[in-house]
Structure formats: structure tokens, C-alpha cells
Amino acid sequence: MDANMITPFVNAIQNVFSTMFQLPVEIGEPRLKTDRKATHDVSGIIGVSGEMVGSIVLSMPLEAANSVVTLFAGTEFDTDSADFADAVGELINMISGNAKAEFQRKAVSISCPSVVIGADHTIAVQSGTPCVLIPCTTDCGEVVLEVALREAEAEVSTNTSAAA
């Protein structure tokens, strides 16, 4: 994956966390993720389609997620509640949208977010798509951004239907 693809996500998580709840984010050394197991117990997931395809995941330990969500929403939610999942989803939505604006590509869309909570869940990534893990340190604990993106393949016409 092009290293330039990582910078927008670094900028985005720092921008979202500092603007919405004044939480500084220190970025660690990005590395390739080699297994499908979720890094932490809470995953906010966004799909990317268009000229780029793949997924972006905000992965947080439950305790860190609870602290981040409390700062963001201004109130503490039960981690089993729909409100908690909603807040995690909105965070990854803002991070992805912010990063997307720096892609300089016209036709990239992001999906509505999904949130998975639970120990040892796995997140499938399309084969052939490298996943870069960006570790981030905050006062709420470690959070991780997982960026699995690649250029969309040019559509090849396989239409062999005979003329009527």
C-alpha cells in the first residue's frame, strides 16, 4: 500500500479526536497486519468503494472505547447499548470521511458504519488487500486504525452475449 495512503488517516484521527473532544492522539509506527483476528474487542467498520476498495476499522479495547465514547457523547453508556455502538460508528464515520477528502480521488464512497463488540472476533478483508495497522496512544488507552485499501481493478468486460 502506498505510504501516502496512511497519512490521511493519521491526520483524520488526530483531527476528529482533538476537534470533537480535545483528546490528543500520538501515532506509533504503522505495520502490516498479518492475521484476521480483530486487534481489540470493539471494532467500528466502514466499507470503501469506487476507485478505491476495502475497509477501515477503528479497533479499541472495551475500556478505552468506553472512555472515548464518554468523552465524545458527554455521557457514559452501557457498552451493550445501541447508543454505545452508535457513538463508535460515528467516530469511524468521521475519521473515514475526513481521510477520504485527502485522497484526491473523485469517485470514492464510504458505507454507513457497522460496529462489532466482543472478544476474539475476526474481520474478513478481501484477499490481495494489504491491511496496515496504525497504533495510536491516547489518555484513554491504545486505539488502533486498520486500513485495508487497494486500487479498484479496471472493469473488464466479459460480456460475450451474441447479437440477436
If the CB atoms of residues 9 and 33 are measured against another protein, the closer one turns out to be 9
User: Min. distance of Cβ 73 from another protein in angstroms?
Assistant: 5
User: Quick one: cell of 80?
Assistant: 451493550
Residue among 54, 71, 48 at smallest CA distance from 132: 54
Q: How many CA atoms lie within 13 A of 39 on its CB side?
A: 26
If the CB atoms of residues 5 and 33 are measured against another protein, the closer one turns out to be 5
Interface ranges with another protein (CB under 8 A): 15-16, 19-20, 72-74, 82-83, 86-87, 89-90, 93-94, 96-98, 100-101, 106, 110, 112
CB atoms within 10 A of CB 132: 18
If the CB atoms of residues 6 and 87 are measured against another protein, the closer one turns out to be 87
If the CB atoms of residues 74 and 128 are measured against another protein, the closer one turns out to be 74
If the CB atoms of residues 69 and 148 are measured against another protein, the closer one turns out to be 69
User: Min. distance of Cβ 159 from another protein in angstroms?
Assistant: 30
User: Quick one: cell of 136?
Assistant: 495510536
CA distances from 114 to 2, 12, 17 (A): 26, 19, 19
User: Min. distance of Cβ 25 from another protein in angstroms?
Assistant: 13
CA distances from 51 to 13, 86, 150, 158 (A): 22, 28, 9, 20
User: Min. distance of Cβ 155 from another protein in angstroms?
Assistant: 22
User: Min. distance of Cβ 64 from another protein in angstroms?
Assistant: 17
Q: Where are the beta strands (DSSP E) in the chain?
A: 26-27, 31-33, 42-50, 52-60, 108-110, 114-117, 131-138, 141-151
